[in-house]
């Protein structure tokens, strides 16, 4: 049985504040192969790591992210909402994450907006050794990114029940992987993806029964909020060598 790739969804987000370096370091310590993170732009065009388009849910301030400059964000606390011990944890810039990951730890950068995608490509060009995959639900965005940077690996996110069309889109935009919602994954979907040269990385898997079912279907990896637990399941599922 192949060893699947464990992507920590927003880092070890079940144990630390999501999309922070604390969560990414913890995911690495737990044995994850890489982290998934979300990239948005500040008012002055700097790529930072944040899922929501507002700061309300995961920081100590309110407001739309795109109205804050990078300097404005320096004093924002992105950790205490999760637990007091993370008080003062900052919103990381993508540059900081790329420097931390180096050339050995994998990154899956989810992009929601065209401008952020273009900025990410510009930044990745300065880190030729990084192991970054860019993913999005937006076919046109991925297609544009591939036109601008043919060297860039991309993954196609999907929450569609009509998955044959989604797989067609993934192939058409040059994706190397297909990222379906985990509850929509079927064995025939995985087989079709593999036949068309796509790896399959479902999201988000924290349940052991579903983990085992997906493993039996032959997925290549998955996203989880609890990489420590999933890495233990994976390692116990692997045949003795």
Cite the active site residues: 9, 51
Q: How far is the CA of 190 from the CAs of 7, 123, 142, in angstroms?
A: 18, 33, 21
E-strand ranges in 2-75 read 5-9, 34-41, 47-49
Cis amide leading into 204 (omega within 30): yes
CA distance 173 to 175: 6
- What is the biggest distance separating any 2 CA atoms in the chain, rounded to whole angstroms? 54
Half-sphere exposure in the Cβ direction for 206 (13 Å, CA)? 10
């Amino acid at each position: 049985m192949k060893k699947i790739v464990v992507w920590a969804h927003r880092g070890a987000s079940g144990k630390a504040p999501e999309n922070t370096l604390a969560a990414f370091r913890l995911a690495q310590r737990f044995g994850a192969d890489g982290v998934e993170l979300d990239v948005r732009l500040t008012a002055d065009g700097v790529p930072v790591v944040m899922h929501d388009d507002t700061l309300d849910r995961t920081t100590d301030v309110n407001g739309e992210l795109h109205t804050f400059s990078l300097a404005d964000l320096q004093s924002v606390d992105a950790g205490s909402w999760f637990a007091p011990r993370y008080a003062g944890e900052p919103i990381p810039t993508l540059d900081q994450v790329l420097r931390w990951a180096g050339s050995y730890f994998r990154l899956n950068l989810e992009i929601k907006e065209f401008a952020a995608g273009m900025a990410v490509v510009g930044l990745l060009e300065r880190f030729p050794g990084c192991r970054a995959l860019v993913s999005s639900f937006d076919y046109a965005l991925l297609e544009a990114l591939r036109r601008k940077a043919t060297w860039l690996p991309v993954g196609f996110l999907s929450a569609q029940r009509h998955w044959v069309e989604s797989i067609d889109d993934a192939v058409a935009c040059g994706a190397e992987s297909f990222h379906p919602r985990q509850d929509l994954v079927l064995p025939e979907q995985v087989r079709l993806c593999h036949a068309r040269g796509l790896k399959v990385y479902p999201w988000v898997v924290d349940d052991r029964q579903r983990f085992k079912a997906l493993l039996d279907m032959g997925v290549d990896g998955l996203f989880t909020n609890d990489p420590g637990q999933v890495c233990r399941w994976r390692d116990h599922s692997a045949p003795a060598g």
